[in-house]
Amino acid sequence: MSEGWTTRDATALLVLADGTVIEGDGLGAAGEALGEVCFNTALTGYQEILTDPSYARQIVTFTFPHIGNVGANEEDVEDLTPANSVGAVGAIFRAEVSAPSNYRSTGDLDAWLKARGVVALSGIDTRALTALIREKGMPNAVIAHSPDGKFDVDALKKRAAEWSGLVGLDLAKDAASAETEVWTEGPWAWNAGYAANKAPAYTIVAIDYGAKRNILRLMSGQGARVVIVPATASAEEVLKHDPDGIFLSNGPGDPAATGEYAVPVIRELARSGVPMFGICLGHQLLALALGGRTQKMHQGHHGANHPVKDFTTGKVEIVSMNHGFAVAADSLPEGVEETHVSLFDGTNCGLRVKDQPVFSVQHHPEASPGPQDSHYLFQRFFDMIDAHRAKKAA
């Protein structure tokens, strides 16, 4: 075992690509999962985090020690296709998961993880693992859970070491909807659940690269009928719905790989004049389509407490983030300006095209989980749509 990690009768292992073996107590699904290890600093919303499609092929280390004490329910799931369990492949917790204690709970976290096929472990020093990631970057790893405590450690080390990682990997096709569908569910209301949008005034076409439900809910809450199309949809397929606006969703993987088929479509759509809004992977793909470039981050941004400055208002907001790639701000061409920046490390968090109704942000303004400081971005999108409608009518 690697120096510094506690040795015990382990029922779960985290095996890093450099050969480090970390022992813990297994929970969730039995078996193995291969992925990139990151850490998330959010204090709440573990279900939303684990079901965010942007976490596909990642193993999430929660820095908050008490995870699972509010149980699990089906309302807090974020991926559009829960039957396919799109989201994080593994989870790492500091403390043992306690019995649920929340009026919304319909079950415990362990059973929920099993049902989704997520391999998890608890009982390790997550502070030390977080420090390792901050120092050396996000490692490739295998997380393994065996109730009898028997592992082929050499095979796990080999598997972790041989995986090429997320660079060059297109995961959007796997995370996206397979067919066109219409989304009508609105935002959640206290003790009322999710109300349907019964009288939509707009049509938004959302290109699904791994969209989150709450993004679609907030657009529905603005009065939109949201038509979801697959990641591989053509510009013709998007425009045939006569959209008032086009949305480029979040999603997992390397934007440069997804961009092989997405970028030509986005370029054509940008020329259509229809207002366009991108989030997360959608932001990165838009930047590529406009002539920018993306790059892999050292430790990424994962959490619900990230400070971002909006240059268009001069305000600082606290936002939710989940990304391991970023747009290189110095690569944005003339006519495209940076609108948001991370106050943690200065990386790009937003852009807009001058004189066109096209903009995007890196963070997750739908706040699921996270603060609601950035909800105004949805209103900004619909203000652009109203202005575009008025211009067409004039």
Active-site residues, by number, are: 280, 364, 366
Radius of gyration of the chain (CA): 21
Q: What whole-number distance in Å separates Cα of residue 71 and Cα of residue 69?
A: 6
**Structure token pair of residue 302:** 């994962």
If phi over 0 gives left and psi between -120 and 50 gives alpha, with beta otherwise, what is residue 263?
alpha
DSSP E strands in the chain: the ranges are 12-16, 21-28, 31-40, 58-62, 90-92, 119-122, 140-145, 181-183, 185-189, 193-196, 202-208, 224-230, 245-248, 276-279, 294-310, 315-327, 336-342, 348-353, 358-361
Q: Which one-letter amino acid corresponds to residue 107? A: G
- Which run of H or of E encompasses 380? helix 376-393
CA atoms within 13 A on the CB side of 37: 31
b/e sequence 316-332, b meaning 16+ C-beta within 10 Å: ebbbbbbbbbbbeeebb
